C-alpha cells in the first residue's frame, strides 16, 4: 500500500498566451484556441532551462516541509532529458544534496508517466528496497516543437512536478492496470535526435525530423478506443463501482478529448476534474499538478478515492486508485 504524502510543482516564468499565438498566426483567434482545447496560456522553458532545472525547483519546494534525508530512491520521468547520459536522476541527487546511499533512475514515458512512476514506487516499497521515494515528472516538450507548428504550440506547456511516495499503513492495496501498443509509435514521435537514421518523413504533416510530430486524429482514436475500457478494468480489479470513486483525474490532454471521454465513460461531471487552462498539456506532469491544485482548493478530503488515468505517446496507458 502506498500514499502520495506531498506534491509540489514548478512552472517556468515565461508565459505564452493565446493572444501571443494570435499575433503570430492571425488566422487563429485566442477565443477559438480556448474553445477548442480549453487552454488560455502555457508556460515555456527558456533556452537554457532544462528538465533538471525544473525538477530541482519543484523538489526544493517539497523539502521546505519535508526532511530530504528520508529520501532513499529517486524516480525521474522525462522524454526531454538534459543528456543521453548520465541519468538526470543521478545529477538531481547531487543538486538536491541528497544522501549518496540511495537509488536513482530515469524512465522514458510521456502522459502515462506519473501512473507508471507510482507503480514502480509501489514495487520498490513492496520489495523493501525503498521507503521514501522522490517521484519527479518533468518535461520541456516545447523544445521539440517547430515554431511554425501552431497546433502543438497551442497545446503543450513545460512543467515539473515532484511527489513523495511512501508506504501507507492504512487503506486498501489498490491494483494497477497498465497497457502498451507500440504499433502507434509513429503517431506521436520525435524521429531524429537519437541513433535511428532509416526513418521516413510525412511531408504533409511534419516540419522537421527533429521536431515533435503528432497525428491528432489517430491519438484521439487511440484514446477513445482504449481509455473507457481502462477505467472499467481498473474499477473491476479493485472491486469498486462508479459510486465508490470520489474523483476521476485523467491526463490533462485537452478539454475536448476529456469531455468526450467523460461522456463516453458516463462519469458524473462533478466527479471529473479538468484543470489545464493556465498550464496547458504538461505531459507526465499534468496529473500531479491537477492533484496539487485540488488539494489547494480543498476539493480532496482525507479518505477520498481518486481514479488516476494516464495515456498517450507510446502508445502507453495506465490507471490506478489513489486514496488520499
* Catalytic residue ranges: 111, 251, 281
Closest listed residue to residue 214, CA positions, set 232, 224, 202: 202
What size, in residues, is the chain? 324
Q: Which helix (H) or strand (E) segment is 158 a member of?
A: none
All 3 cell numbers of residue 176? Answer: 494497477
Angstrom distance (rounded) from CA 45 to CA 151: 18
CA torsion through residues 49, 155, 279, 275, sign: negative
Angstrom distance (rounded) from CA 179 to CA 316: 6
CA torsion through residues 292, 294, 297, 300, sign: negative
List C-alpha distances in Å: 173 to 2, 13, 77, 119, 167.
Answer: 8, 39, 24, 12, 11
All 3 cell numbers of residue 261? Answer: 471521454
Angstrom distance (rounded) from CA 13 to CA 24: 20
Q: Which helix (H) or strand (E) segment is 30 a member of?
A: helix 30-37
All 3 cell numbers of residue 253? Answer: 490532454
Q: What values do phi and psi take at 117, rounded to 5?
A: -60, -40
Quote the Cα angle for 247-287-19, to 5°: 110
All 3 cell numbers of residue 87? Answer: 541519468
Amino acid at each position: 500500500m502506498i500514499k502520495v504524502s506531498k506534491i509540489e510543482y514548478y512552472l517556468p516564468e515565461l508565459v505564452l498566451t493565446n493572444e501571443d499565438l494570435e499575433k503570430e498566426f492571425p488566422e487563429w483567434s485566442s477565443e477559438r484556441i480556448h474553445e477548442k482545447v480549453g487552454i488560455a496560456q502555457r508556460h515555456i522553458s527558456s533556452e537554457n532551462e532544462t528538465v533538471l532545472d525544473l525538477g530541482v525547483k519543484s523538489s526544493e519546494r517539497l523539502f521546505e516541509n519535508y526532511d530530504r534525508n528520508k529520501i532513499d530512491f529517486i524516480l525521474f520521468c522525462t522524454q526531454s532529458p538534459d543528456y543521453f547520459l548520465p541519468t538526470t536522476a543521478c545529477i538531481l541527487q547531487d543538486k538536491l544534496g541528497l544522501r549518496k546511499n540511495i537509488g536513482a533512475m530515469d524512465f522514458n514515458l510521456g502522459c502515462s508517466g506519473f501512473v507508471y512512476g507510482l507503480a514502480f514506487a509501489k514495487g520498490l516499497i513492496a520489495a523493501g528496497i525503498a521507503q521514501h521515494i522522490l517521484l519527479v515528472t518533468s518535461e520541456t516538450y516545447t523544445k521539440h516543437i517547430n515554431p511554425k507548428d501552431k497546433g502543438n504550440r497551442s497545446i503543450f506547456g513545460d512543467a515539473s512536478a515532484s511527489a513523495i511516495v511512501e508506504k501507507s499503513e492504512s487503506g486498501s492495496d489498490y491494483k494497477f492496470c497498465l497497457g502498451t501498443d507500440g504499433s502507434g509509435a509513429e503517431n506521436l514521435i520525435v524521429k531524429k535526435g537519437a541513433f535511428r537514421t532509416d526513418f521516413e518523413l510525412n511531408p504533409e504533416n511534419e516540419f522537421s525530423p527533429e521536431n515533435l510530430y503528432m497525428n491528432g486524429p489517430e491519438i484521439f482514436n487511440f484514446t477513445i478506443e482504449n481509455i473507457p475500457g481502462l477505467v472499467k478494468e481498473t474499477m473491476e480489479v479493485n472491486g469498486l463501482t462508479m459510486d465508490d470513486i470520489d474523483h476521476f483525474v485523467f491526463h490533462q490532454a485537452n478539454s475536448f478529448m476529456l469531455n468526450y471521454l467523460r461522456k463516453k465513460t458516463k462519469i458524473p461531471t462533478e466527479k471529473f476534474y479538468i484543470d489545464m487552462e493556465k498550464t496547458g498539456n504538461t505531459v507526465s506532469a499534468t496529473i500531479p499538478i491537477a492533484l496539487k491544485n485540488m488539494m489547494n482548493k480543498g476539493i480532496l478530503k482525507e479518505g477520498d478515492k481518486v481514479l488516476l488515468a494516464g495515456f498517450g505517446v507510446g502508445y502507453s496507458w495506465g490507471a490506478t486508485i489513489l486514496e488520499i
